Chains A and B, each alone.
Chain A
């Protein structure tokens, strides 16, 4: 226990680094992509810890490439492609997944 306590002051606190990421210009919510558009996950926020864990465990980590495939007949839920599989989720949840949109 003392070992880790002693090294603590030596580390550079990094919260500021995290903050800078969220100001990226083309960062949009996954729910706003149109079918065919791609992006990379930047962060998941504003959702329950449980749902966040499940999304992360299914592979939607920072940097994961995502493609919007389609909307269901009435516009919700959506279908996305990530890491070689298809996932469907509602727009409400997709709003908490921020992606850096790939510019075309």
Chain B
């Protein structure tokens, strides 16, 4: 390999860091596009996002997107990982060769606090001054050259949501940067400086720590927010003894050890800002303020919130209809093609009615899932989610949670997995646990296929209040039922198993901004890849197994519906039928429930497989699953399998039941044991059974049983 090639294949290791809401993820998406990989750091449950960036000099860089953080002294698992990576303390993750710090230009002073801490790490650094447009709009002018000079760091101005400045950033990433150097510019009061220098020198000597690491440890020890108790095993007795005296001396001098480090950094930041920022006259009422006046209004705020939710579910329903039909038609065409090519028999049956029917039933719902992620992405990116948390906090406080728990819960509408992972922004372990335990009650996108199949088939197409369809209202009701159940369960858990003081709520309200469509589309792409992978592997496998179970043992001369009933699956369904009878479910629904124990959307593919086998020979080959379910009658009594009430009952069951292997797995990982996932599975299944039973009985009394 010659030198040139070696240069070209060398991958530089870059870490991306920044405050929450600084637009860091948008910068990451602009840099890497679809070349992203999501994993986990070894030993901890923090999501590790990495991506590849092609650079203008034909080399490539590997960019690590660190969790958003306000400081490098924080204690939450997310923030700690950022600190540890910059200190080179994480195994299997190399210390970055270059740090790119994204700061919000409209919020420079606070952002630079983190920058002072990064500079102390003595790593090569580029500062990305993002959201220059918002800063300008609110009357803030920043002299980039002066800022660069004052910080002694290269500064690139960007508007990442529009891609402005990204090319310059890539260019800057190619050139080598010197480490920020041993030139700490912020100063502590003389006495503290001296104590710090002594302690740092001792740490370097006694524990062979590198200079930046010793400095970091010395600051942590002196500011002493953990006390000295936690360090007993980590440091030599001399150091602990010295530290003890340091604390006593500083305390005696009336120095606030906690705030002195923070205020000294801010003191320097103020001087840098005074030099580089030209703040024109700021009007008191900004654009964001005017919107906020309405969106957080005591009446309009809630009207708009619920209106937006209704609109979201309504459009998911109507906009996705056409692409769903197209996908369905595509699979039908493919099935007919295979039927033409393959001779009739078990093989043809397996492929067309087993695998293909099952996968088709699920893949058809891809458009709805894409729309859901699109809406959630827009709400998040515009800054509306934070407002929703703001107006909802009081309600969340009532059930013993805080507004921050509301965001993971809202995110669980998409999927409980990212929802549960999003709880990592909740500082207190108990608050976090409660949120995780109730998050899967929020109706995730995997329930959407179940709901929409049943709604389309059994809820009459009526319009209510002139604008909303009954279908949309039903769908919204299911989501609200899940939300209500989640809040109710949180309330109960907070008063029984997980008592404790009310959680702290501290949340930044970012200014409103236009969402970056690129970021949203990248997220939609990632989700659809995951969804399709599952359809191609797990669901395909289950569909094939189910086909076997509902086709064998073979009975010669039995009618197709008799055949299904006498098959293994039919027998299993019959076996649990007595348990399901009180809920108004028959054995076919029973097969669906068992089949979807590991994954909810399998219910739909199960129905697809069963009804395809059952109706294989009756000449209705091309009829949709919906109408087959509508027409299905008990062969003996002639009573329909599904009525509107049964459909509602099945939906209610799915609102509550924990039918998701992945959620169990992530709960095990996040809580580090089987206790909580087992508890969660148990309470949710009981709740599902109870709620469905009540719904069924109530329905019969009200006479909607049919």
Contact = CB atoms under 8 A, between A and B. Distances in A.
> A and B, one complex?
yes
Interface of A: 1, 3-5, 7-8, 11, 13-18, 49-59, 61-62, 69-70, 72-77, 79, 83-90, 92-93
B253 A61 contact: no
A51 B506 contact: yes
Secondary structure of the A contact surface, majority rule: mixed
| CB-CB nearest 7 A-B residue pairs | A14-B254, A73-B298, A86-B509, A74-B394, A15-B254, A56-B262, A57-B71
Given A76-B393, A76-B394, A77-B403, A17 B254 contact: yes
B254 A56 contact: no
A1 B202 CA distance: 10
B336 interface: no
A50 B258 contact: no
A74 B296 CA distance: 10
Contacts of B397: 76, 90
Interface stretch (B101-109, B370-378, B629-637): B101-109
Interface stretch (B163-171, B191-199, B588-596, B644-652): B191-199
A102 B329 CA distance: 69
B215 interface: no
A86 B110 CA distance: 11
Contacts of A53: 73, 225, 258, 262
B323 to A, nearest CB: 38
A52 B508 CA distance: 16
Contacts of A62: 259, 263
A37 B259 CA distance: 26
Given A14-B254, A54-B70, A90-B504, A79 B509 contact: yes
A4 B242 CA distance: 11
Interface residues of B, number: 58
Given A1-B198, A14-B254, A70 B292 contact: yes
A52 B258 contact: yes
Contacts of A76: 393-394, 397
B75 interface: yes
A77 B254 contact: no
Nearest to A15: B254
Contacts of A70: 292-293, 296
Contacts of A77: 390, 393-394, 403, 505
A83 B191 CA distance: 29
Nearest to B251: A15
Nearest to B511: A86
Contact of A87 (B259, B394, B507): B507
Given A76-B393, A77-B403, A88-B390, A59 B113 contact: yes
Contacts of A50: 75, 225, 427
21 contacts: A3-B194, A4-B198, A16-B254, A17-B254, A18-B254, A53-B262, A54-B506, A57-B71, A69-B289, A70-B292, A70-B293, A72-B394, A73-B297, A73-B301, A79-B509, A83-B109, A86-B509, A87-B509, A88-B507, A88-B509, A93-B505
Interface in B498-552: 502, 504-511
B258 A87 contact: no
Contacts of A57: 70-71, 73-74, 113, 262
Nearest to B289: A69
Nearest to B256: A18
A87 to B, nearest CB: 6
Contacts of A51: 504, 506
A100 B13 CA distance: 48
B679 interface: no
A62 B393 CA distance: 28
A76 B50 CA distance: 39
A73 B504 contact: no
A56 B427 CA distance: 17
B252 interface: yes
A3 B106 CA distance: 45
B249 interface: yes
B259 A49 contact: no
A83 B242 CA distance: 37
Nearest to A3: B194
A61 B508 contact: no
B266 interface: yes
Most buried by B among A8, A52, A58, A72: A72
A86 B106 CA distance: 11
Contact of B194 (A4, A79, A85): A4
B198 to A, nearest CB: 6
A77 B423 CA distance: 20
A53 to B, nearest CB: 6
Contact of A8 (B74, B198, B249): B249
A70 B104 CA distance: 23
B508 A87 contact: yes
B391 interface: yes
A79 B390 CA distance: 9
A88 B505 contact: yes
Interface string B375-396: 0000000000010001101110
A89 B73 CA distance: 21
B394 to A, nearest CB: 4
A73 B296 contact: yes
A54 B507 CA distance: 11
B78 to A, nearest CB: 14
Contact of B225 (A5, A17, A49): A49
A62 B249 CA distance: 23
